Each structure stands twice: as C-alpha cells, then as structure tokens.
Chain A
C-alpha cells in the first residue's frame, strides 16, 4: 500500500483521472446533458471490467483472451434475475429472481468467479500461446451456448425492462447510477492495490517473472494463478452486471471475442499492470469511439490504426507516456 501514498507523477495523474471522471457527470447533469453521464458511466464500467482482467493479465501475466465470458455471464445474471423477478417464475430450486442490484452483484461475483475457477483450472495447465487460445475457445463455448439456448432470448438477447434497484436511491437517474458504478470502480481499484501489495499479489507477480524460482521457494504457481484468475473473473463479471443495467439489455455480443479483445486493448492503451491503466485506457477508448464515431463512420479502421501504432511504438500506453516507465515490471 505504501507506494500509492507517496506523491509521484503517476499518482498525481491517477488522482486527476479519478477526479475528472467524477466531475464530468456532475457538470453534465448541471447542464442537462445526460448523454455525457452515460458516456462516463460506460467508462467507469469498462474500466472496472478491465481492472478485473488487469489482475490476471497485469499482475499474473496471464493473457486471457476469454474475459468476455465473465463479462457476459455477469450481464446475463442481471438480465435473467430481473426477468424472473418480473415474471414471478421461480429461477432454480424454487428461488425467485431479484430486482435488487446487490443480490445481482453477489450472484454475478460468485457465478463468474466459479466459472473462472473451472475455466482457469483447465486453461492454467497450459501456458503461453496455448493459454491465449484456450481461454478464447472457452469464451466461444459460452458464446455459442448463449446463442443456441433459446430460453433467454438466444441470439436476440434479453431486455431489462426497468433498471434494477438499489435500496434508498433512484437508479433510473443517470447521475445516481453513475455514482454507484464509480464507487464500485474505486473499490475494485483499492482491491487491486491491496492485492498487488499483499503476499499473495507478490507471489502472483513473482510467478509471472520467474515460475521456477517461485516453485523452488515452495509456492505452487498453479494455485496462486488459479486464485488470481478466479478473482479476476469475478470482478469482470460484476462489471458485466452493471453494463447490462446501464444498457438495460444483455446479448451474446457481450460474450463475443471482440469484447475479450477490447478488454485487453483497454489495458494496453492505458498501460499494462498499472493501477489506473484500465481507467486511462477505458477513458481513451470511449472518447476515441465517440470522437472518431462522430467524424467518420469508419472509426473502427482508425481505431485499429491507432492501436497498431500504440503496440508497435508506444508500449507503455497512455500512462507510460504521461507518467514515465512503470517502476517495477
């Protein structure tokens, strides 16, 4: 924890980023521009999803190309629970659905964490390029399942008629929903910082840097990685539940491999393994998408071009550019 207390250029930039993300929706609310609140909420949620991935990818060096699976599972948890609460049909074992966000969040965390545990248990037996492809393949498996299972909309997706509720506040108000997402994002960032500084986080990073040495001192890299992967999956799943509530819609596209790719892109754009890398990346990505999308219909082409340039020539991402090299690899 100590290192985030010190005033460094990176911490200063992080503070500015976090304040800006908070300030913009308030300003937008004051000027009656709810669209920008939605944009900021999108940034917060994508940053949350990428923070989850950053645990596996940034700390553990586990290049998961299948995190869309967890993102989508979280989304479907929100959609399915809300649908059952709406229709009154029991879900499983006679349990009803729910419109309460906190219930949905807990279910999303647990379910995506468990799926992460299962996928991780098999995938982590491999490494390198095999790991990338296997996580991709598992995510595709979930994707095709969602498409071919007609009960919850199949290919067409599932609408959430009314945004789910949180005790004491009106979640339909854009600013309120933004604040919920923002607080969760901050909590997740705090969790990331805690894990990074903990004994567990140190072992996870050490397993990335030198697996043999970690094994030699008596730590099993497999277990450490599996735990890290499951936590990472749970956080991304939570983000998925919020994303479904933001759009009030969940569809298989949340599970698609483009989504997995985007999550990695967010981290790289921001700066790999950095605490605020996902937030910087998500902000940059959403702003690109919005700005380029306003200029040209072909924005994806230019997004690809920018991404290519970043990967080839600016490897530290936005934070690398602004705050200098990361202090430890």
Chain B
C-alpha cells in the first residue's frame, strides 16, 4: 500500500517536473540566446491558462483551447518582445529584472481587469478523464499521465528542433556568438522575436495544461516561475539539458520530500511534531538542494559555455 502510494507520488513528482521543464526551457533558451532574464515568463504561463479556459468555455472544446493558449502566449510574447524586451538586450540584469517586474504588475492587473478577480475553471477533456490502475492497487488520473507524456514529447521535439533544423542551428549559433551570426547575415532581431515567442508558447502550454488541474487565476504563474528559476540555476543557465534534468530533480525532490520527510521524522518524534517540522522542512528542501549543488558547482550542473 505504501509502495503504491510512493509510486503515485513519484508520478506526481514527474508531472511537476515536466511542467517545470516547459517553463524552464523557455527561460533558459531566452537567457542562452539573448542573455535576458525574464521575470514575466510566469505571466505568459498565466496568459496561456486564461486563453485556454476562455476559449474552452466558448467552444466547449479543451483542444481548441489548448491551441488558443499556444497562439495567445506566443502572440503575447512576440508583442512584449517587440515593444519592450528588445530594448533590454544590451542593458544590465538589474534593468531587465525591473522592466520585467513592471511587466508582471501590468499583466497581473491587466488580467484582473479583463477577467475579474474570480478564478476560472477548466475541465479535463473527456478523452483524458478517468484513472488507470497502477501496480499495487491504487488508481492514477489519466490526465496527469497525459501531461507527463506531452512533456516528454515536447522535450523530444525541442531536442529535434534545436539539433536538426535550420532554426535550431541559428539558435545554437546565437548562443555561442551573437555578433558573428549577425555578421553572417542572419536577421538576428527576427530570430530573437521567434525565440521569445517560442519560449512564451511553451510557458502558455504549461499554463493551459496545469489550468485543468488547478483553478485559473491571477498570480498562478509566480510560484511556478520561481521554481523554474531554481531549475535553471541548478541545471546551468542556458542549458536545455540542464533544464530537463533540473526540472525532474526539483519536481521529484519536492513531491517526494513532502511525502517522505514527515514519515521519516515520525520515526523519531511525536506524529504532530513530525508533521509540522517535516512539512516546514519539505517546503525548503529544493532550496537546500540548490544551495548544496551551488556550493559544489557555482554555475550549475551543466554550465553553458559563456553565461
């Protein structure tokens, strides 16, 4: 029974990890190519979720909503890049942090303006409702398994995109030498917009998929954003591989920590205290893991060449 529960928690951890990867991949790509730290990435996640919930409510189809979330987030990303972000590439990180912080305020308040303060709800599509039996007797929601699968497909697709296509080649070239690929005649400004929109679309997709698990509300992107920062710091900023491993590590550590720590502590102290200390310790666990990793490798597990 406990083993089955542990398996369930492990899957939850994987699912969280996959979501984090979708966020972290965009962040790390944007940092790797443009050298930009984008706090507003969580807002794009929120845009995706709101677009999906709204369109799904209009059309009655989750799938159309999912496509809408990709389009809306990519469009929002492209517009933000064209209007604001592009002025920030040659600024220092402080300016980037502040400007994107300002964008968060505008996105959050703007969304509240448009949609009101009440959360929206998004139903799981009929195709993915229900549960499957896990070995050990417990049942696990199909939708969560589908998220894990979708994340794996996106990760593979991203790998193909970056290692096999012309766009991917340009992205890699942009990461290693920005001036040079501009000099070689690649339209670097368009490339930047495309990369930003791509990162935004990934965030939007994550938001839409999670939107069916939680409520869709203003500020939903912020906890995920900070976890995604932890992920890319652990993985090495600029590295997609690092983002994938970091995301899985953070997802599984966080979920399993919340599950196991109180149980382990209960062996030593009274149950009530174990729950309290274990809960508090578990909520800090990934930050402790991050601190340990950075104490050993200050630039993360897979440091990018130039960052």
Contacts and interface: CB of A to CB of B under 8 A. Distances in A.
A183 to B, nearest CB: 31
A140 B224 CA distance: 12
B286 to A, nearest CB: 8
A213 to B, nearest CB: 19
Nearest to A304: B105
Given A304-B105, A308-B103, A141 B284 contact: yes
Interface residues of A, number: 41
Given A126-B299, A129-B31, A307-B101, A147 B283 contact: yes
A311 interface: yes
B100 to A, nearest CB: 9
B98 A138 contact: no
A303 B291 contact: no
A307 B98 contact: yes
Contacts of B98: 264-265, 268, 307, 311
Decide if the interface of chain A is mainly helix, strand, loop or mixed.
Answer: helix
A134 B97 CA distance: 14
Tier of interface size on chain B = 35 or more
Contact of B95 (A122, A140, A311): A311
B123 interface: no
Contacts of B106: 301, 304-305, 308
A140 B287 contact: yes
Contacts of A141: 284, 287-288
CB-based closest 5 A-B pairs: A304-B105, A141-B287, A301-B109, A304-B106, A307-B102
27 contacts: A57-B94, A65-B97, A126-B298, A129-B237, A130-B298, A130-B299, A133-B233, A134-B233, A137-B226, A138-B291, A144-B283, A145-B283, A145-B284, A148-B280, A149-B280, A261-B101, A264-B97, A265-B98, A265-B101, A300-B105, A300-B109, A303-B105, A304-B102, A304-B106, A307-B98, A307-B101, A312-B88
Interface of A: 57, 63, 65, 122, 125-126, 128-130, 132-134, 136-138, 140-141, 144-145, 147-151, 257, 261, 264-265, 268, 272, 298, 300-301, 303-305, 307-308, 311-312, 315
Interface of B: 31, 37, 84, 87-88, 93-95, 97-99, 101-106, 108-110, 112-113, 222, 226, 229-230, 232-233, 237, 276, 279-280, 282-284, 287-288, 290-291, 294-295, 298-300, 307
